Chain A
Amino acid sequence: MKHFLAFALLFATMMPALAVEPAERLADPAQEQRARALSGELRCLVCQNESIDESGAPLAHDLRVLLRERIAQGDSDAQAVKFLTDRYGEFVLLRPRIEPATYVLWFGPIAVLLIAGTGSAIYLRKRRLQPEAAPLSADEQARLDRLMKEGEG
C-alpha cells in the first residue's frame, strides 16, 4: 500500500518536460501565457514533429525568444505568427489553416465518410426492398416433389 501511494504520488506530480527556460520568460504573465499558447502551435523546424515550446533545439530556443520579443513589442498573436510564416512558410503551423489549399486535408475524410455512407445506405436499402422469390409454378412444384421422393428412395 505504501508503495502504491508512492507511485500514485509520483505519477500525479509528473509533468511533461518543458523546454522553456526561466530566462526566456516574459515578466508580464499575460504576455507569457500568450507566448506559451502560440509557441505550442508552432513547429520546430529542426525536429519537425515537436512544437518550439517542447523542443530543446537551439533554433527552437531562438524562435521562442524571438516570439516573446515580438509580443513584448506589442505584436498581436496574428502578427507574431505571420512574422514566422513569412520566413518559414505555412509549415511552421502545427495546425494548418483552413483555406482552399487545405480543404482536401480538412474536409477530405468527412467527404469520404459521406460518400461511402451514402453508398452503403443505398445498397443496403435496395437489398431489403428486393421482392421475395416468386412462388413455384405447378410444374416446378411437381418436379421438386419428384426429386425429393427420389432422394428419400
Chain B
Amino acid sequence: MRRLLYLLPVALFVAVAVYFLLALDPNRDPSRLPSAMIDKPTPVFALDGLAGGKGLSLDALKGQVVLVNFFASWCEPCRDEHAILMKLGKDSSVQLYGIAYKDKPEDTQRFLQQLGDPFRAIGLDQTGRTAIDFGVYGVPETYVIDKQGRIRLRHVGPLTEADVAKELMPLLKSLQNS
C-alpha cells in the first residue's frame, strides 16, 4: 500500500507527459475549434444575389442536403480551393451554394467569370451578418446542412481533395440516404 503511494507522483508525471505529448501532435491545430452551431438549426437568412441571379435564402435550401461555401474574391485561400468547388459543382449529386462574404458584387462577379461559377445560387452577405449568425471566423468556410435544416459540419479553411473524399462525400451520402 505504501509502495503504491510512492508510485503516485510517477503516475501523475506519466499522465501529464502523455497529455503534453498528444498536444504536440503536428497535425493538431490549437486555433481550430469545434463549432457551437453543430446540430443546431441553420440561422434564417435571405440574401440578394448578383445581377441576374436569384439570391439565396434559407427557405430555398429546405428539404435537401446542401453545401454552403462562404467565399470572397479578396480571399487568397478561396482561390486555392476554387478548383475543388468547380469539381463539386459538376457533380449532380451535390447541391453547392455560395455566400460571398463582405465582397463588392462586381468583384464577386469578376472572380466567378475568371475562375468559373460552381454554385447553384449565390447570396451576397455584404455586411457579414449572415456569416456571424453561422459562426464564421473567416473565409473560406464550408457548411453541410441536412434535410431538416440543421448544420451538420463546419469546415474551416480551404477544402482539399482529401477533405472532400474523406469528410464531405461520406457525410453527404449518409445524410441523403437518411
Contact with A along B130-142 (1 / 0, CB 8 A): 0011110110000
CB distance from A151 to the nearest CB of B (A): 39
Please determine whether B35 and A46 come into contact, CB atoms closer than 8 angstroms. no
**Cα separation A48 to B129 with both chains bound (whole Å):** 20
Cβ-neighbour of B36 out of A59, A66, A87 (below 8 A):
A87
At the interface, yes or no: B37 with Cβ under 8 Å from chain A? Answer: yes
Interface string of B29-56 (1 = CB under 8 A from A): 0010111110000000000000000000
Chain A interface, >50% SS class: helix
Q: Which residues of the other chain, A, contact B127 by a CB distance below 8 angstroms?
A: 62
A window 15-72: CB within 8 A of B: 45-46, 48, 58-59, 62-63, 66
Q: Indicate if the CB atoms of A87 and B132 lie closer than 8 Å.
A: yes
Interface residues of B, dominant DSSP: loop
Which chain A positions have C-beta within 8 A of B102? Answer: 58
Measured in the bound complex, the distance between the Cα atoms of B129 and A45 in whole Å is 15
User: Residue on A with the closest CB to B137?
Assistant: A45
Flag if A46 contacts B137 (CB, 8 Å): yes
Tell me which residues from 1 to 45 in chain B have a Cβ below 8 Å from any Cβ of chain A. Answer: 31, 33-37
Q: Which residues of A are at the interface with B, using a C-beta cutoff of 8 A? A: 45-46, 48, 58-59, 62-63, 66, 85-91
Which B residues have a C-beta under 8 Å from some C-beta of A? 31, 33-37, 102, 127-129, 132-135, 137-138
Apart from A46-B138, A89-B35, list 16 A-B contacts with CB within 8 A. A45-B137, A46-B137, A59-B132, A59-B137, A59-B138, A66-B132, A85-B36, A86-B36, A87-B133, A87-B134, A87-B135, A88-B36, A88-B135, A89-B33, A89-B36, A89-B135
CB<8 Å pairs between A and B, sample of 7: A46-B138, A62-B132, A63-B132, A66-B129, A86-B36, A89-B35, A89-B36
* 5 shortest interchain CB distances as A-B pairs: A89-B36, A87-B135, A45-B137, A62-B128, A88-B135
